[in-house]
Copies of this chain bind each other. A is one copy, B any other.
Amino acid sequence: MSFKAVAVDIDGTITYSDRSIDCRAVAALRSLNIPVVIATGNVLCVARAVAKLLGTGGILIAENGGVVECGRVESDISHMKECNDALEILEKHFTLERLDPEARITEIGLRRNFDAQEARTLLGDAAVDIVDTGFAIHIKSKKINKGTGLKRIAQMMGIDARDFVAIGDSPNDIEMIKAAGLGVAVGNAHPDLKEAAGLVTKGEHGAGVKEVLGELRKRGEIR
């Protein structure tokens, strides 16, 4: 098996837990000779800035899969009504602070100043997921996630999602690592992600990214 591309989460995976960049991941990703796709819950502008700094090119998954970019940008705004309906319900119970309201167009990002589990209970069987990445809480459609984003970006690249190694740390990476040919959880990952992963690194954050890419290269499974 030779992988054709790598998809990698930003916060907690190529950064430390304070969101500052882990340069061990930068060097490891830069040394690859296959495309690196940044896959984040953050907005497109941030994904682009990070890709520029990494020097990895402009293939991107943003807003947890709602926005993808590969030459052109595709944004799936078809589920915003469900997100807004859920927001309206939650606003009756919590004082919420929206993150990037102008830039975020396919889902809603909120500051982590309320209880995500309580929010889920309040919403019951709504059409949305409440996802806590450890950095923000997202109200997002159940139909969109980094896994659907990975499949779409693979299609745009003319390859298959199974051709990817995908690396993450948080529950919002689960669908992505399951869709990939090899799903990797870094050592500091959430237990649910480790459970879903094909491989869990010993190293945390950038050290984990470096570890798995080095291992795959040694095995000749990545260039």
Chain B residues closer than 8 Å to A100, beta-carbon distance: 45
Query: Contact string, A19-31, partner B, CB cutoff 8 A, digits 1/0?
Result: 1110100110010
Interface residues of chain A, those whose CB is within 8 Å of chain B, are 15-16, 18-21, 23, 26-27, 30, 42-43, 45-46, 48-50, 52-55, 100, 103
**A19-B52, A45-B49, A103-B103 given; 11 more Cβ-contact pairs under 8 Å:** A20-B52, A20-B55, A21-B21, A21-B53, A21-B54, A21-B55, A23-B23, A45-B45, A45-B46, A46-B49, A49-B50
| Complex-state Cα separation, A103 to B48, whole angstroms | 13
Give 26 pairs: A residue, B residue, CB < 8 Å, sorted on A. Answer: A15-B53, A16-B55, A18-B55, A19-B53, A19-B55, A20-B52, A20-B54, A20-B55, A21-B21, A21-B26, A21-B53, A21-B54, A21-B55, A23-B27, A42-B49, A43-B45, A45-B46, A45-B49, A45-B100, A45-B103, A46-B48, A46-B49, A49-B49, A49-B50, A53-B53, A103-B103
Q: Closest CB-CB distance, A13 to chain B, in whole Å?
A: 13
Tell me the nearest residue of chain B to A135, going by C-beta. Answer: B52
| Complex-state Cα separation, A45 to B48, whole angstroms | 10
| Complex-state Cα separation, A46 to B55, whole angstroms | 15
| Complex-state Cα separation, A45 to B19, whole angstroms | 15
Q: Closest CB-CB distance, A29 to chain B, in whole Å?
A: 10
Chain B residues closer than 8 Å to A16, beta-carbon distance: 55
Residue from the list B43, B46, B53, B103 in contact with A20, Cβ < 8 A: B53
Contact A23 B20 (CB under 8 A): no
| Complex-state Cα separation, A99 to B138, whole angstroms | 28
Q: Closest CB-CB distance, A190 to chain B, in whole Å?
A: 21
Chain B residues closer than 8 Å to A30, beta-carbon distance: 20
Residue from the list B27, B43, B48, B50 in contact with A53, Cβ < 8 A: B50
